[in-house]
Homo-oligomer: A and B are copies of this chain.
């Protein structure tokens, strides 16, 4: 039953030409119209599909693009992935997906697997630092960072050039503007004790948070969770309990936002009366939430798409990355600073 696959040799024989000719024709090389037609015809008739296996070995690389994300379950990354898939599909490239769980070791491991597979184009939301990426880069990987860059420095042009990673193009949302806008909005409403609920790899945002808030910053109001839902919830609940005087929170991601809503509800904090909440990333449920969440929308899908474009165009110009705009979408989770829950 299971007949051997048709190979280029079969086609060559059937068409009465050499394999080289078939190869040329099929990859758009030069050939006389007559020959070309005949080959194409035979190939179609035999239902020939060139095996990527042979080609890959020969080329010493398997096309395809690797995609390394912290967590495909996070709606933001899922949308990012969707963008990558969209672009990859139109380029006919398969996408190999890996979830790092924001764990350096796992990331390194996954990079290893990709390298082993001959994948040499990778889009990553990096969690490891130079130690992880330098070797990969040296091994010839073509990398584009998405959403985060490896230094966390994002677009900030600065002297602490971090070796090779600094030359990796990155497609980022304009975190800086996002944080500023949110903070302006919140302070405009009268809030003075604003907390930041962050996740892994948000150094950039934090820096902007601190800078923007200036004298108002309170380091105790800055809490970083690990990637998981549990960790996010623990962080949020802990923060709210420890500092009943805070009146507003900026959540650095939809998982964190979700946790904040849950924790607030659990502690009987009414949003926005007792607590104003702005969440990074607009997700469909933000609108279904009670109250609907005010968010900083990020073009997750675009980020993925653009990153894929960049990684596919590799070799061209375009050394530098892309900065995509964010947008504050005001819904119902913020209000004027009310009476503090625990006055003074």
A: residues with CB less than 8 A from B are 1-2, 5, 49-54, 56-57, 60-62, 64, 67, 71-73, 75, 78-79, 81-82, 85, 89, 92, 94-99, 112-118, 138-140, 229, 258, 261-262, 283-285, 287-290
Of A67, A117, A229, A261, chain B has the most CB atoms within 10 Å of the CB of: A117
User: Are the C-beta atoms of B85 and A98 separated by less than 8 Å?
Assistant: yes
Given A85-B99, A117-B52, are A261 and B284 neighbors across the interface (CB < 8 Å)? no
Report the separation of the CA atoms of residues A97 and B72 in the bound assembly, to the nearest whole angstrom.
Answer: 11
Please give me the residue from chain B that is nearest to A118 by CB atom: B53
Which residues from chain B contact A49 at a C-beta distance below 8 Å? 112, 115-116
A77 and chain B: residue at smallest CB distance:
B78
Contact in complex: A96, B95 (CB < 8 Å)? yes
Is the pair B82, A73 in contact by a Cβ cutoff of 8 Å?
yes
Residues of B within 8 Å of A261, CB to CB, are: 288
Q: Which of B73, B89, B118 contacts A51 (CB 8 A)?
A: B118
In Å, the complex CA distance between A75 and B254 comes to 13
Q: Which residues of B contact A64 (CB under 8 A)?
A: 96, 117
B residues within 8 A CB of A82? 71-73, 99
A116-B52 in contact (CB<8A)? yes
- Least CB distance, A206 to chain B, in whole angstroms: 25
CB proximity of A84 to chain B, nearest CB, Å: 9
A117 lies within 8 A of B97 (CB): no
User: Do the beta carbons of A262 and B290 come within 8 Å of each other?
Assistant: no
Q: How near does chain B come to A284, taking the closest CB pair, in angstroms? A: 6
Complex Cα spacing A117 to B88, Å: 15
Among residues of B, the one whose C-beta sits closest to the C-beta of A259 is B284
Output the least CB separation between A209 and chain B (Å): 25
Q: Are B113 and A92 in contact (CB under 8 A)?
A: yes
CB distance from A294 to the nearest CB of B (A): 14
Q: Which residue of chain B lies nearest to A291 when distances are taken between CB atoms in the complex?
A: B290
Contacts of A78 in B (CB 8 A): 72-73, 75, 78
A258 touches B116 (CB 8 A): no
Residue from B92, B118, B262, B284 within 8 A of A52 (CB atoms): B118
A2:B73 contact, CB within 8 angstroms: no
12 interchain pairs, CB-CB under 8 A: A2-B138, A49-B116, A53-B56, A72-B78, A73-B78, A78-B78, A92-B113, A94-B114, A285-B285, A285-B288, A288-B289, A288-B290
Is the pair B258, A51 in contact by a Cβ cutoff of 8 Å?
no
Task: Name, among A5, A50, A114, A288, the residue most crowded by chain B CB atoms within 10 Å (CB to CB).
Answer: A288
Q: CA separation between A138 and B3, bound complex, in Å?
A: 9
Bound state CA distance, A85 and B344, in angstroms? 50
Task: For the complex, give the distance between the alpha carbons of A115 and B67 in Å.
Answer: 20
Looking at the assembled complex, report how far the CB atom of A178 sits from the nearest CB atom of chain B, in whole angstroms: 22
**Minimum CB–CB distance for A20 against chain B, Å:** 19
Residue from B60, B71, B79 in contact with A73 in the complex, judged by beta carbons closer than 8 Å: B79
Q: Which chain B residues border A115 with CB–CB below 8 Å?
A: 49
* Pairwise interchain contact B113-A284, C-beta atoms closer than 8 A: no
Cα of A16 to Cα of B237 in the assembled complex, Å:
62
A280 CA to B316 CA, complexed, in Å: 47
Chain B residues contacting A97 (CB-CB under 8 Å) are 67, 81, 85, 95-97
